[in-house]
Structure 1
Amino acid sequence: MARSGSAGAGGTGTGTQSVERALSLLSYFSDEQPERRIAELVELTGLGQSTVSRLVAALETLGYLVRDERSGLHRIGPKVVELAGVALNQSPVHRAARQVAQNLAHELGLGANVAERHGDSMFYLCHFEGPQAPRAFTLTGRSAPLHSTAMGKALLSGLGEEQVHEVMGAAYPAYTPHTVTDFDGLLKALEEVRARGYATEVEELAFGRACLAAPVRDRSGAVVAAVSVSGSLSAMDLPGRQDELAAKVIEAADLISTSLGFMAHATPLS
């Protein structure tokens, strides 16, 4: 009996290691490097070529990777997209926000985005382009920093000072000269968000871009997501349109919050 258990444990360990290695290969595909050769994966992982080839072949068979016959390069396959769709469709925030965000993009002609916080970064749940803010790629599934984005500040606005420090620490990287890089500056920005009910971002993450976001709350009153409109500085025209855009985005946030069970008179749980 003891020998049988030992063999089973060994088999499980080997199987688990193979799964971990196979999944780790997928992490080396990114927007910057969407296609990889097996030789690259060998170098990146430190695994033997026969091991990588075997794992890649298994991932191809299952649909997680696809090989271009002409170039020999591998890219992410349709099975990953299918699973991503399953995950999004199970998200209450995504279900409540998708149509609202789509309507917002159509009405204002700007990009409309919905994101939630994952640790010290935000994760885009959905994104729609407007004619004044076209993109050749989707933001859905991407992450971005909290301190340098309007959506990030809207997400952080539901946290107390100690919680913000626990999540963010005391200093943050600068992406432009306009980025807030210290804790006191971030707290001041969050106080402004709470007072106005929305957050703004003007060239804090990237030059030539602006964003306006409002927090989304769940049944308990906790901030669980943020919705925003974004685009170029000229398309957003915050000096001339800020009040108009803020009213629209706050209205969208309220619609999503209501769908999640939030009531305006509810007191957020501490």
Structure 2
Amino acid sequence: MTTPHSATPERSVVDRTLSILGAFDRDNRILSLSDLSRRSGLPVATVHRIVNKLHGWGALERCADGGYSIGLRLWETAVLSPRASTMAETAQPHLVALHGQTSAAATIAIRDGKESVCLSFVSNETASTTAVYGDPGRRVPLHATAVGLVLLAHAGGTMQQEVCSAPLRAFTRATITHGTQLKQCLAKIRREGYAVLHGTLVEGRGGFAVPVRDSRGAVVAAVGVSGPVDLIQPTRVAAHVRAAAAMIQRCVRSEGLRITEVGA
């Protein structure tokens, strides 16, 4: 029988391992042992021991310069997530069509806690723009984008209160940074059925998004377009975005997908 005392070391090892894996992000894809030690807050000797285990299993790969990157074994495990892979595959052809119809970048995102996570992004824009908006797996605070606001507007009351009462990061002068204003915005989105923003994440760029619901009526994703402000006008893009969302929603319901949000 495992006692609380004997269970502590095991949990500690898991926590340390997760700290090391969490040290990687989109701006830090290759890290040395010293980098991993600094970013995880762990001693180099501890990092070296755990990294060797992760490398042996395939979760990390050794690079030519001696650094480490996320390995294929971990990627193979991650793509098994039904919340990401199934929804992305279902949405992809409809996003391609939406991009063709609007000339704007088309995207689908889901909520994970207080952030939206991009599942797919179809665009002919530059790599730098894609990195800000649509790199698959990119996380953005819910209050900063149209897809994020749609997801937040249909999240639980507890989650909405947590976001609205917490400090809201200002990405531009147009970003919503006051909780009362955000609550009013969410109520409007629920009432009108869509979100439209201009210049809240990147100046001069806007977004329009609508929800995707499962067979129970729960919002499981948001579909939207983004691009230069003059391109993202409801009168121009709304019908196309709603049609794409309806097609994705039909697929979600016909295939019986049950995609559960993380967080209240």
TM-score scaled by length of structure 2: 0.81
Which residue of 57, 62, 65 maps to 1:67? 62
3-state DSSP of counterpart to 1:246: helix
CA–CA separation in structure 1 for the residues paired with 2:18 and 2:145: 30
Q: CA deviation at 1:218?
A: 1.4
Which residue of 232, 235, 240 maps to 1:248? 240
Name 2:174's counterpart in structure 1.
178
Instruction: Calculate percent identity across the aligned residue pairs.
Output: 31
Structure-2 change in CA distance of 1:162 and 1:53 (3 Å)? closer
Name 2:259's counterpart in structure 1.
none
Deviations 1:225-256 (A, max 9, x none): 1001112335xx23xx5312111111111122
Aligned 8 A contact 2:164 2:180 in 1: no
CA–CA separation in structure 2 for the residues paired with 1:250 and 1:258: 12
Aligned 8 A contact 1:169 1:183 in 2: yes
RMSD of Structure 2 on Structure 1 (CA): 2.9
CA–CA separation in structure 2 for the residues paired with 1:160 and 1:258: 24
Structure-2 change in CA distance of 1:123 and 1:50 (3 Å)? same
Alignment of 1:134-149 (within 5 A): 134-135=126-127, 137=131, 139-149=135-145
3-state DSSP of counterpart to 2:238: helix
Name 1:23's counterpart in structure 2.
18
CA–CA separation in structure 2 for the residues paired with 1:168 and 1:118: 16
Name 1:231's counterpart in structure 2.
227
Structure-2 change in CA distance of 1:43 and 1:73 (3 Å)? same
Where does structure 2 lack aligned partners over 5 or more consecutive residues? 255-264
Q: CA deviation at 1:195?
A: 4.0
CA–CA separation in structure 2 for the residues paired with 1:193 and 1:96: 25
Deviations 1:165-217 (A, max 9, x none): 24432652222111111222123323432343221121101223211111111
CA–CA separation in structure 1 for the residues paired with 2:120 and 2:72: 19
1:98 corresponds to 2:92: yes
Aligned 8 A contact 1:218 1:261 in 2: yes
Structure-2 change in CA distance of 1:6 and 1:150 (3 Å)? closer
The total of aligned residue pairs comes to: 250
Deviations 1:69-121 (A, max 9, x none): 2x222121222222222215775533432332233224433321111122222
Q: CA deviation at 1:150?
A: 0.5
1:209 corresponds to 2:202: no
Aligned 8 A contact 2:196 2:234 in 1: no
117-126 or 188-197, which moves further after superposition? 188-197
TM-score scaled by length of structure 1: 0.80
Which residue of 153, 159, 174 maps to 1:157? 153
Name 1:265's counterpart in structure 2.
none
Q: CA deviation at 1:134?
A: 3.5
244-253 or 196-205, which moves further after superposition? 196-205
1:259 corresponds to 2:251: yes
Where does structure 1 lack aligned partners over 5 or more consecutive residues? 263-270
1:123 corresponds to 2:113: no
CA–CA separation in structure 2 for the residues paired with 1:134 and 1:118: 27
51-60 or 82-91, which moves further after superposition? 82-91
Q: CA deviation at 1:142?
A: 1.7
Q: CA deviation at 1:140?
A: 1.4
Aligned residue type for 1:108? T
Structure-2 change in CA distance of 1:6 and 1:221 (3 Å)? closer
3-state DSSP of counterpart to 1:261: helix
- Larger of the two Rg values belongs to structure: 1
Structure-2 change in CA distance of 1:184 and 1:141 (3 Å)? same
1:86 corresponds to 2:70: no
